[in-house]
């Protein structure tokens, strides 16, 4: 499990670097107002810092000789990562309002939520709240996709 933790932490460092470089392309803030890239950059730095802490923490753990990783755990991690990657791809194609409820629905379903009303309401309400917060409070435009 220590090896998987180190690999996952390394991947999160790469993701944090990608987020920072992508967010640096956003417009800069003006007149003391933070630009739209501030929070993604902050989250990218935080992701990198926490991943480094995790790597350092696992460095001091002893590896047991007969430590084996459960194949079901590896499968669960990989499928979760694929769902997230698919979301990252489709948000630019389909837009935030279509891809986010699909992402939330699929990730909740994969992790065992089976009640249709919970899946649908949670996906739609969460998307609506996020859309409102980002658009109205933070004045951040979200990907519209090919339909808008």
Domain ranges in the chain are 4-67, 71-137
- CB 41, CB 23: distance < 8 Å: yes
Res 14: pLDDT: 94
Res 67: pLDDT: 57
Q: Is the pLDDT of residue 103 over 90?
A: yes
User: How many other β-carbons are positioned within 10 Å of the β-carbon of residue 124?
Assistant: 14
């Amino acid at each position: 499990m220590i090896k998987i933790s180190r690999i996952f932490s390394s991947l999160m460092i790469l993701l944090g670097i990608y987020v920072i470089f992508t967010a640096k392309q956003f417009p800069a803030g003006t007149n003391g107002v933070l630009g739209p890239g501030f929070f993604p950059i902050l989250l990218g730095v935080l992701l990198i810092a926490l991943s480094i802490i995790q790597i350092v923490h696992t460095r001091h753990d002893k590896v047991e000789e007969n430590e084996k990783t459960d194949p079901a755990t590896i499968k669960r991690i990989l499928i979760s990562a694929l769902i997230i990657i698919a979301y990252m791809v489709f948000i630019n194609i389909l837009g935030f309002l279509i891809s986010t409820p699909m992402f939330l629905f699929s990730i909740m379903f994969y992790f065992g939520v089976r009640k249709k009303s919970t899946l649908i309401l949670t996906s739609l309400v969460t998307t609506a709240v996020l859309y409102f917060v980002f658009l109205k409070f933070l004045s951040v435009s979200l990907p519209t996709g090919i339909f808008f």
